[in-house]
Amino acid sequence: GDSVTQMEGPVTLSEEAFLTINCTYTATGYPSLFWYVQYPGEGLQLLLKATKADDKGSNKGFEATYRKETTSFHLEKGSVQVSDSAVYFCALSVGSNTGKLIFGQGTTLQVKP
Amino acid sequence: DAMVIQNPRYQVTQFGKPVTLSCSQTLNHNVMYWYQQKSSQAPKLLFHYYDKDFNNEADTPDNFQSRRPNTSFCFLDIRSPGLGDAAMYLCATSRETDYEQYFGPGTRLTVT
């Protein structure tokens, strides 16, 4: 079945370091791909998305490119801040009839000053 | 400008005592979703409404029910909460099923 796999955390970085959080997926058809962020005690916020192969989603300095050939959607940021500390979820949408999002297990990012 | 509102933010109930969680939205979206998120896990879809059409996930326990009396409101009813139902419950909305989902802040349910 459809699934999303993320790198395990926690990921601990110093401020201004480069961030990569790996995400790979398995899906039939052509899913849309998303990154959501969850700050402590809060709900999920959409960070970025891509709806077709080779699309690049970007927001707040974060980027991810939909790579169909490697079935990946890795999240990157050139210079992280302490305020980026949160849990990041990669997700895919399985189709227009259900709206169901399938999430990866989440990766906790801790950024130290 | 709250768009998806969940009340209460924290709910404590006793084992076996029915509890209702509520969600409202100001976005006028057609679709509303309920997710369960246990500690350090990914959210898991319980069910969703497309307008008034109810869609249950195959593995959602019968203990969980939902009501959507109008476009703006959706309720999650847990008929007989067990200790394993303690979790964060997230409500989300979207315009159509293949559109971006907007999440509320969640209700953290504790079962004693």
pLDDT one-digit tens code per residue, A46-87: 999 998 999 999 999 999 999 999 999 999 999 999 999 999
Please give the torsion angle defined by the CA atoms of residues A88, B105, A33 and B101, in that order, rounded to the nearest 10 degrees. Answer: -170
CB contact under 8 Å between A43 and B90, yes or no, is yes
| A32 vs B6: CA distance, rounded Å | 27
Candidates A3, A96, A103, A105: best to mutate against B (most CBs of B within 10 A) is A103
Phi-psi region for residue A68, left (φ > 0), alpha (ψ -120 to 50) or beta?
A: alpha
Residue B100 pLDDT class (50, 70, 90 cuts): confident
Flag whether pLDDT at A95 surpasses 70. Answer: no
With an 8 Å Cβ cutoff, the interface of chain A facing chain B consists of: 32, 36, 41-46, 49, 89, 93, 95-101, 103-106
Whole-number pLDDT of residue B87 = 96
What pLDDT, on the 0 to 100 scale, is given for residue A98?
A: 62
**CA geometry: angle at B16 spanning B15 and B20, to 5°?**
100
Spatial separation of the C-alpha atoms in residues A2 and A94, rounded to whole Å: 8
The pLDDT score that the predictor gives to residue A100 is 80
- In whole angstroms, what is the distance from residue A87 CA to residue A109 CA? 6
Please confirm whether the linkage preceding B69 is cis (ω < 30° from 0): no
